[in-house]
């Protein structure tokens, strides 16, 4: 609340609009905006934005003024990232501009800690054309919220032991460190978290003093999350279905693996692949999504050591949880169930970390990503 005005929380959902061989369907409209009621957990549709291809990942700036969407289109030599202005009252999105991503299958976008730069990771499938395929691209945010031409980019080389999924680099997430001096990139294809120094004045990148940490061969690190303390990083490993806890040295950019825990029950024998990972705002719990087992894994975090104590799993009330978000109140977890054509709302106990089904959901074709923002 602010000046007696109730908070207004919006949910932004990107969905698949074009076919790809690794998507079961493509029934989305583009970007949907819904009102999320933090008291009841209900979702109410507000607006839809078409004219964008496969917006598979979304991010909203810290003031809730602008939204940025990466387009993941199979067969394109380069993806694109598109900027929109948000109308908080109606949820309507106004197109600003777009930029090519210098690599195929743009998979993830996030801001540096100043909000002046957008970081995009390109997963890359097949040949990328004449230009060297870029793993990480840095874009300046212009005064009107539009995207400037890339200020910097870097490529990755190498491969992993999985001949189908690790024939080359596959960056899947880029994240700025809490002090904004480094950028971390999870690369599924080479089983590494790459680390770059970052100049927030110019957007420039350079290999860090400790330029990478190698994770278990064939693990496939996909997404990253920092602990609120800034002392630990958590990597969810898509191919191995596990989470690795790492100690973070902000001074040198060094990452030290501490522990790896499975995200699946020991009795599970089916196929499953991890997707997203999040840490609660109070730093007490970690959540990770299993696609196949169709569950949210959760674990308690030891604040002193950063180590994980697995607690359990809860069904996502759908199929193929591509991404999820904790709401601003911390009392709900919203899941984009890609192959159930719905965003499900789970209740969350902030004391125990446990999840429960609210029965609330929003029917949306092939949802890929759900992000929330609270306006005051």
> Tens digit of pLDDT for each residue in 84-98?
999 999 999 999 999
DSSP 340: G
CA torsion 353→355→356→359, rounded to 10°?
A: 130
Instruction: Round to whole Å and give the CA distance between 109 and 223.
Output: 11
Q: Tens of pLDDT along 174-198?
A: 999 999 999 999 999 999 999 999 9
Section 344-362 average pLDDT: 98
For residue 1, the model assigns a pLDDT of 36
pTM: 0.97
The answer on pLDDT for 127 being more than 80 is no
Element (H, E) at 355: strand 355-363
Supply 326's token pair. Answer: 């904790």
89 CB-contact burial (10 Å; exposed 0-12 / middle 13-18 / buried 19+)? exposed
Q: Tens of pLDDT along 194-220?
A: 999 999 999 999 999 999 999 999 999
The answer on pLDDT for 142 being more than 80 is yes
Instruction: Round to whole Å and give the CA distance between 189 and 172.
Output: 9
Q: How far apart are the first and last CA of the chain?
A: 6
Alpha-carbon separation of residue 311 from 265, 298, 355 (angstroms): 11, 6, 11
For residue 125, the model assigns a pLDDT of 84
324 beta partners? 335
CB atoms within 10 A of CB 126: 13
The answer on pLDDT for 157 being more than 80 is yes
By DSSP bridging, strand 342-348 and strand 332-337 are antiparallel
For residue 3, the model assigns a pLDDT of 47
């Amino acid at each position: 609340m602010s000046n007696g005005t109730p908070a207004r929380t919006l949910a932004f959902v990107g969905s698949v609009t074009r076919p790809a061989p690794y998507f079961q369907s493509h029934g989305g409209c583009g970007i949907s905006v819904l009102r999320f009621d933090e008291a009841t957990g209900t979702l109410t549709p507000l607006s839809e934005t078409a004219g964008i291809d496969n917006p598979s990942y979304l991010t909203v700036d810290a003031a809730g003024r602008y939204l940025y969407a990466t387009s993941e289109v199979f067969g394109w030599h380069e993806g694109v990232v598109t900027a929109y202005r948000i109308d908080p009252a109606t949820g309507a999105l106004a197109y600003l501009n777009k930029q090519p991503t210098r690599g195929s299958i743009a998979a993830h976008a996030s801001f540096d800690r100043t909000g002046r730069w957008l970081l995009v990771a390109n997963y890359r499938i097949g040949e990328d054309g004449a230009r060297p395929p870029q793993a990480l691209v840095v874009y300046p945010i212009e005064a009107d919220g539009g995207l400037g031409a890339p200020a910097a980019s870097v490529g990755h080389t190498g491969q992993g032991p999985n001949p189908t999924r690790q024939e080359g680099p596959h960056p899947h997430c880029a994240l700025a460190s809490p002090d904004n001096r480094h950028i971390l990139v999870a690369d599924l294809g080479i089983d590494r978290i790459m680390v770059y120094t970052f100049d927030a004045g110019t957007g420039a990148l350079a290999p860090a003093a400790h330029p990478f940490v190698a994770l278990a061969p064939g693990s496939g690190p996909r997404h990253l999350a920092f602990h609120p303390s800034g002392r630990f990083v958590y990597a969810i490993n898509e191919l191995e279905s596990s989470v690795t806890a790492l100690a973070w040295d902000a001074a040198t950019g060094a990452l030290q693996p501490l522990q790896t825990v499975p995200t699946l029950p020991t009795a599970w024998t089916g196929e499953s692949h991890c997707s997203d990972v999040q840490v609660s705002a109070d730093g007490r719990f970690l959540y990770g999504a299993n696609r196949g087992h169709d569950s949210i894994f959760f674990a308690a975090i030891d604040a002193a050591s950063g180590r994980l104590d697995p607690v359990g799993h809860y069904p996502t009330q759908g199929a193929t949880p591509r991404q999820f978000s904790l709401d601003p109140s911390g009392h709900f977890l919203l899941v984009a169930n890609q192959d159930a054509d719905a965003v499900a709302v789970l209740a969350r106990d902030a004391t125990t970390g446990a999840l429960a089904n609210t029965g609330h959901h929003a029917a949306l074709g092939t949802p890929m990503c759900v992000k929330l923002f609270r306006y005051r």
